[in-house]
Amino acid sequence: AAAGSTSRPLPAALNRALMMAPEIDRVAADHRLDPLLLHAIARVESGHNASAVSHAGALGVMQVMPGTASRFGVSDAGALHLVPINLRVSARYLNVLQRRFPGDLRLVLAAYNAGEGAVERHGRRVPPYRETQAYVVKVLAEYARLDGAARRLSAEGAGAAP
């Protein structure tokens, strides 16, 4: 069979990512963030699932804790299941973390996962928590994968050889 001739639905996570892409692009532009970073975090956190709830109580696509959301004026935890609100709270928090840990994406991601205090208590290093260490590796790997795919597609679109 020719490539692409078999009709099958997109995997649910990919479909969710595609549906959310315009909002991620808007939020990324508004907060001067790389949309691929937001996609990488969303993929690792929830598989781009706006209904996700973690064992720790984090909510929505970017798995925002209600306490974090309240820092940014969102007191209704249920609102964190709304993609635009969840993304905007996450983007604002990432901006705070980037200012606190400038130029160190590993620490920004560790703080996003474990909290700024945990990173500070461990000497401004990724805390020695298995979950946080694995999280940083997963997000960085997903970010690199998305960046590589974007570069390949851009080169192909420009008529360059893949």
CA distance 102 to 80: 27
Q: Which of 45, 116, 120, 131 is catalytic?
A: 45
DSSP H helical ranges for the chain: 12-30, 35-46, 66-71, 83-100, 105-114, 116-121, 130-157
Amino acid identity, position 86:
N
Whether 45 is catalytic? yes
Q: Which among 119, 61, 115 is positioned nearest to 90, based on CA atoms?
A: 61
Q: How far apart are CA 38 and CA 143, in angstroms?
A: 9
What residue type is assigned to position 111 of the chain? A
- Catalytic positions are 45
